[in-house]
């Protein structure tokens, strides 16, 4: 089976969503009554089974269980906690042809396991491809490696003092008659 490049990019976005799943809140308590929330953004390396090509994707998970993934296509979905370091997610993507017309959907399902510091994770996925009528067109699977995107403070000092908001009267020019 050959996978079209667009399909691979959709898969990458799906796997990126998996990577964001591993973006668990570092301040959360794994045994809290609400469970372990996922939140944050991840960069994900996706590999389709039978291929050596690695695809990069981005994934963001919200604490409410929502997922947004981005690669060549955007995907939306949700995540759930399976255990203290294990999560499952599902992301749906719209498939488009070369003219931009919607030709179907693809649904990616994945299980991920994260490290104790929630800075990296890995897992497996399966993507099912459907036409506009919901008929299954293709299925493929693979693996994903995810790394949390960490904030790196900008270290360059300011050249001048921070601006303060000017008094509105000083910054607003007078209104001219007849304008």
- Domain assignment present for residue 20? The answer is yes
pLDDT at 126: 96
Q: How far apart are CA 26 and CA 34, in angstroms?
A: 15
**Residue-level pLDDT, tens digit, the chain, 179 residues:** 455 555 554 544 454 444 444 333 333 333 333 556 667 899 999 999 999 988 898 999 998 899 999 876 889 999 999 988 899 999 999 999 999 999 999 999 999 999 888 889 999 999 999 999 999 999 999 999 999 999 888 887 777 766 777 665 555 566 666 65
Residue 130 lies inside a defined structural domain of this protein: yes
Is residue 34 in some structural domain? yes
Has residue 178 been placed in a domain? no
10 membership: H or E segment, kind and range: helix 5-21
- pLDDT of 12 reads 46
Domain CATH number, residue 40: 2.40.128.120
In a domain, 175, yes or no: no
Q: Please report the pLDDT score of residue 153 as a whole number.
A: 87
- 50 lies in which domain range? 5-170
Residue 179 forms part of a structural domain: no
Spatial separation of the C-alpha atoms in residues 103 and 115, rounded to whole Å: 38
pLDDT at 22: 39
Q: Tell me the C-alpha distance between 46 and 176, whole Å.
A: 61
Is residue 105, in this structure, part of any structural domain at all? yes
Decide if 134 contacts 39 (C-beta within 8 A): no
């Amino acid at each position: 089976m050959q996978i079209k490049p667009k399909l691979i990019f959709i898969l990458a976005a799906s796997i990126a969503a998996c990577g964001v799943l591993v973006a668990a809140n570092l301040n959360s308590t794994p045994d809290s009554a609400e469970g372990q929330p996922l939140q944050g953004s991840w960069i994900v390396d996706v590999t389709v089974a039978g291929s050596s090509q690695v695809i990069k994707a981005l994934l963001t998970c919200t604490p409410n269980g929502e997922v947004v993934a981005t690669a060549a296509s955007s995907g939306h979905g949700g995540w759930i906690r399976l255990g203290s370091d294990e999560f499952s997610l599902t992301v749906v993507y719209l498939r488009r042809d070369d003219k931009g017309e919607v030709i179907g959907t693809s649904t990616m399902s994945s299980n991920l396991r994260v490290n104790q510091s929630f800075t990296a994770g890995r897992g497996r996925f399966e993507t099912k491809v459907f036409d506009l009528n919901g008929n299954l067109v293709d299925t493929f699977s693979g693996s994903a490696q995810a790394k949390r995107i960490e904030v790196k403070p900008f270290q360059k000092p300011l050249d001048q003092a921070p601006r303060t908001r000017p008094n509105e009267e000083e910054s607003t020019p007078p209104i001219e008659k007849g304008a």
